[in-house]
Amino acid sequence: MDRGRLEAFSDGVFAIIITITVLELRVPEPPDFSWHELQNLAPTFLAYVLSFLYVAIYWNNHHHLLKTVHEVSASIMWANMTLLFWLTLLPFTTAWVGNSYTRDTGFQGTAPMVVYGVVLLLAGMSYFVLQNRIVAAHGGSDSHLGAALGRDWKGHVSPFIYLAGILIAFVAPALAFALYVSGALIWLVPDRRLERVLRDGDDHAHDH
C-alpha cells in the first residue's frame, strides 16, 4: 500500500475532526446576543481548546511516525484506522464534557469526564500499537526508529495520566479535566531527539 494515500486519508480525518468539534458550540438564538451567553459557552470552549490541542499533537506525531514508513502493510493500515476511530469520537465527548459544566458546581458530571478519558486512553493505546507495528516492520527495536521511540517517555507516561483522570473523575471531575490538560501540555515541551535521530537516518539514507 501507498504511504501517500494513507497520509492523505488520515489528514482528511484529522482536519475534519478538528473543524467539526467547534460545531458543538451552540450559536446563541436571538434575542440572546449578550455577554452572558459567552459565559455559558466558556466550558464548551475550554473543552474544545483541549480537544484541538490533542488532535494537533496527534497529527504532528502521526506525521513524524508515518514519515518513517516504507511500506504500509494491512496490519499498519488497520492500526491506523483504529486510532482514527477513537479520535472521531472526540467531537462527541468534547461537547458532552462542555455540557456537563454548571456555573454553580463546575464540572460535575462523572460520566462525560470518564468517557473523555477512556477515549483518550484508547486513542493513546491505538497509537502505541500503530507505532509498534511500524517499528516491527522496519527492523524492530534495534533500528533507528526503535531506539528513538524507546526513549519516548511521553508516550509511556500519557496512558497513566489518562487512567488517573478516569479514576479521579468518579470523585472530582474537575480534577480529571486538569489531568487531561496536563496530559496534553507535556507534549508541547519540545523533544528534539526523535527529529534528530530521524534526520540522521535521512542523512544516512542520502549518503548511500
List residues binding a copy of itself (CB under 8 A). Answer: 1-2, 5, 7-9, 11-20, 22-25, 27-31, 33-35, 37-38, 49, 52, 56, 59-60, 63-64, 67, 74, 77-78, 81, 84-85, 88-89, 91-92, 95-96, 99-100, 102, 108-112, 115, 188, 190, 195
Cβ distance to a copy of itself smaller for residue 23 or 160: 23
Nearer to a copy of itself, 2 or 207 (CB): 2
CB of 96 to a copy of itself, least distance (A): 5
Q: Between 35 and 203, name the residue whose CB sits nearer to a copy of itself.
A: 35
Choose between 4 and 140: whose C-beta lies nearer to a copy of itself.
4
CB of 202 to a copy of itself, least distance (A): 11
Task: Enter the C-alpha cell of residue 89.
Answer: 469520537
CB 161 within 8 Å of CB 117: no
Identify whether the C-beta of residue 76 lies closer than 8 Å to the C-beta of residue 137: yes
Residue 13 beta carbon to a copy of itself: minimum distance, rounded to whole angstroms: 5
Q: Given the complex with a copy of itself, which of 39 and 141 has the nearer CB atom?
A: 39
Q: How far is the CB of 171 from a copy of itself (least distance, A)?
A: 15
Q: State in angstroms the smallest separation of the CB of 88 from a copy of itself.
A: 5
- Among residues 190, 191, 164, the alpha carbon closest in space to that of 179 is found at 164
Decide whether 78 or 160 has the Cβ nearer to a copy of itself: 78
- Minimum distance, C-beta of residue 142 to a copy of itself, in the bound complex (Å): 26
The answer for residues whose C-beta is within 8 angstroms of residue 93's C-beta and 6 or more apart is: 51, 112, 115, 116, 119
Single-letter code of the amino acid located at 175: L
